[in-house]
Amino acid sequence: MSEQSDWIVYILECADQTLYTGITNDLDHRINEHENGRGAKYTRGRAPFTLLYTETHSSRSQALRREAEIKSFDRATKLQLALSG
């Protein structure tokens, strides 16, 4: 099994204007899962989505740490991150 080297932390804006932060190693596939109601429980019924932000990490553990950090931010800080990125 080949090891995927890039992990992506992403922020989606849901149709109800809420923000969702997640990680994946296949962004297109993951967004498709969200759009089709097979992604995270939080995003079910909140489509369509706008991809606001991505950043790449070399390991899953780094991406998980960054995801947790971003999830601790308030909405304004997440939006500022998206605007600056």
Q: What mean pLDDT is reported for the chain?
A: 94
- Within a domain: 1: no
- Within a domain: 28: yes
Q: Under a CB-based contact definition with an 8 Å cutoff, are residues 22 and 52 in contact?
A: no
Average pLDDT value for residue range 19-28:
98
Average pLDDT value for residue range 16-30:
97
CATH code of the domain in which 51 resides: 3.40.1440.10
User: Of 75, 71, 72, nearest to 10 (Cα)?
Assistant: 71
- Within a domain: 49: yes
- The domain containing residue 50 runs over which residues? 7-84
- The pTM of the full predicted model, rounded to 2 decimals, is 0.92
- Within a domain: 38: yes
Domain count, the chain: 1
Q: How many CB atoms lie within 10 A of CB 43?
A: 21
